[in-house]
Amino acid sequence: MSPRIQVYVLAGLLIFIGAGLTIYKNTELGFPLFPGEYRTVWTIEAKVEFIADDGPVKAALTLPRAQQNMEILDETFSSSGYGGFNTVQADNEYRAVWARRSASGTQSLFYQLDVIQTPEAALKPPLNLSLKVQKPLLDAREQEAVRLAIESLIKHAHDRSSDTKSFTTQLLTALADKHNQDRNLIFNYYKASSLVDIDLLVLAAAEIPAHRIRGLYLEDDRRRLPPEDLLEIYDGEHWVAFEPTNGLPGIPKNFFIWQRGGKSLLDVEGGSDSRVTFSVIANDIPARDVALLSTNQQKEALVDFSIYSLPIEQQSIFKLILLVPVGALVVVLLRVFVGLRTSGTFMPVLLAIAFIETHLLTGLSIFVLILVLGLWIRFYLSRLNLLLVARIAAVVVAVVILMGAISVISYKLGIQQALTITFFPMIIIAWTIERMSIVWEEDSPFEVFIQSGGSLLVAVIAWWVMTNRYIEHWTFNFPELLLALLGIILIVGNYTGYRLSELARFRQLIR
């Protein structure tokens, strides 16, 4: 394979991998492609309250499980004074268990979790929820009327439906209808029961396996909400969730499932008047942070072995370092396609990085000031017949003193921005001054102007590209794109056409 083809194959491969990883991170891991995307993160706080009986206390709260339409990002427990805290798994349920040797008075325990809604997806089938149906015993004489009412409701619903699902809808609508005589009779008999309790009872009478779903509706800024219930029935093939008040199948969009089937939500031993209430707050958080939080838990290798695993301080350094290749690309493009002359090939990139910290105008004026003063000092030094290394070291010292002086003077004058001057690469500037003074002596002051002007122009263009918010976003969030960038540089390195400057340079030859 000729080197040229190798370059194209390699570059194509690099671009493909870079772009592929980027697309994967965007679609699968949810990293936003553009800056400024936000996601709503719901913070749900469950508060367990009970009055302790002056003795050993044990409280167990069923915890929500990972589910498909919601993703749990983070969970925290707070339980002051409760030494024994742990989570246990039993019967496909996770339960938080708080224990304390002795407690008295009102006790408050908190469990908090952050969730995001993921685009609608079907519920996973519960592992092995019981299909057993226990028909209610209504044989006693005084229960005759209730039994007949239930049977009438079931028959009525049965006549108006074709399958289990439509039957359930009919039944639930009837049970929610306050003008229905049969329904009112049943409700009067079971005064202490809730709507869902009665729904379950009637469904059991109709021999349909069913259980309740406990959860809550996610609405911003809600406090002390009691848990809400949905129903889930088995239609012979699937489990289907129903809204009890309107009888419609499916889980409402903003419903967060806490517990599916199973036993109680909360068990307290050694206490009374126990209850669970929920508070919900919505926060808008940058989509990237959400993606990071959610991938953290899955231990995604692409994220786990990336710069995100570094401490924040190092990350912000990397944010800058990752921009260097972009600057290098700008230099390559300007050199290969335009043909700009600069002093020191990649010196403009270092300048551009300094400009990012100092802001453009401050940076430019400081650089020009240092260059002019430095050249002036260098011309004096050249008359002292010093050795080169000593002379450059002297220029370095002079540059540092100049930078210090500029900082102090501008601070006294109230120009805060000039304090960021420390970001200038001192040694590079000293070398630049040395080379420029040679160019001045051997070529011409005009050549110095051309070269430093070229360097500054490239630096400003590189700065402009590197501070673009899209570029910043892409380099930091999709470092894989560096591979694509490498591919582009390889391809550009193969360009054999004319440079823009050559169109002018060889103009005279076309006559």
* Kind and range of the H or E run holding 274: strand 271-286
At closest approach, how far in Å is the CB of 508 from other proteins? Answer: 5
Cross-strand pairs, 212: 231
Could you tell me whether strands 93-117 and 70-78 are parallel, antiparallel, or unpaired per DSSP bridges? antiparallel
Cβ–Cβ under 8 Å, residues 85 and 98: yes
Q: Which range in 28-36, 108-116, 177-185, 488-496 contacts other proteins by CB under 8 A?
A: 488-496
Q: 177, 108, 185: which is closest to 143 by C-alpha?
A: 185
Rounded to whole angstroms, the Cα distance separating 274 from 435 reads 81
# residues near other proteins by CB under 8 A: 34
At closest approach, how far in Å is the CB of 457 from other proteins? Answer: 13
* 503 forms part of the interface with other proteins (CB under 8 A): yes
* 457 forms part of the interface with other proteins (CB under 8 A): no
Q: Which range in 25-33, 267-275, 435-443, 458-466 contacts other proteins by CB under 8 A?
A: 435-443
At closest approach, how far in Å is the CB of 430 from other proteins? Answer: 12
Rounded to whole angstroms, the Cα distance separating 364 from 266 reads 66
Given the structure tokens 């470092």, which residue do they identify?
479
Phi (first) and psi of residue 184, to 5 degrees: -60, -35
* 379 forms part of the interface with other proteins (CB under 8 A): no
End-to-end CA gap in the chain? 41
Rounded to whole angstroms, the Cα distance separating 459 from 346 reads 9
Interface mask toward other proteins for 308-347; x: CB under 8 A: ----------------------------x--x--------
Q: 240, 237, 252, 244: which is closest to 202 by C-alpha?
A: 244
* 141 forms part of the interface with other proteins (CB under 8 A): no
Q: Which of 8, 94, 431, 440 binds other proteins (CB under 8 A)?
A: 431
At closest approach, how far in Å is the CB of 417 from other proteins? Answer: 33
Dihedral sign for Cα atoms in the order 202, 203, 204, 205: positive
* 494 forms part of the interface with other proteins (CB under 8 A): yes
At closest approach, how far in Å is the CB of 436 from other proteins? Answer: 12
User: Which of 328/336 has CB closer to other proteins?
Assistant: 336
* 443 forms part of the interface with other proteins (CB under 8 A): yes
Q: 1, 14, 3: which is closest to 489 by C-alpha?
A: 14
* 438 forms part of the interface with other proteins (CB under 8 A): yes
Q: Which of 86, 264, 468, 501 binds other proteins (CB under 8 A)?
A: 501
Q: 423, 432, 425: which is closest to 452 by C-alpha?
A: 432
Q: 53, 28, 110: which is closest to 76 by C-alpha?
A: 110
Q: Which of 78, 444, 469, 470 binds other proteins (CB under 8 A)?
A: 444
* 388 forms part of the interface with other proteins (CB under 8 A): yes
Q: Which range in 21-29, 108-116, 172-180, 501-509 contacts other proteins by CB under 8 A?
A: 501-509
Q: 256, 214, 303: which is closest to 21 by C-alpha?
A: 303
User: Which of 36/497 has CB closer to other proteins?
Assistant: 497
Which residue ranges make up the site for other proteins (CB under 8 A)?
A: 336, 339, 385-389, 431, 434, 438, 442-444, 447, 450, 493-511
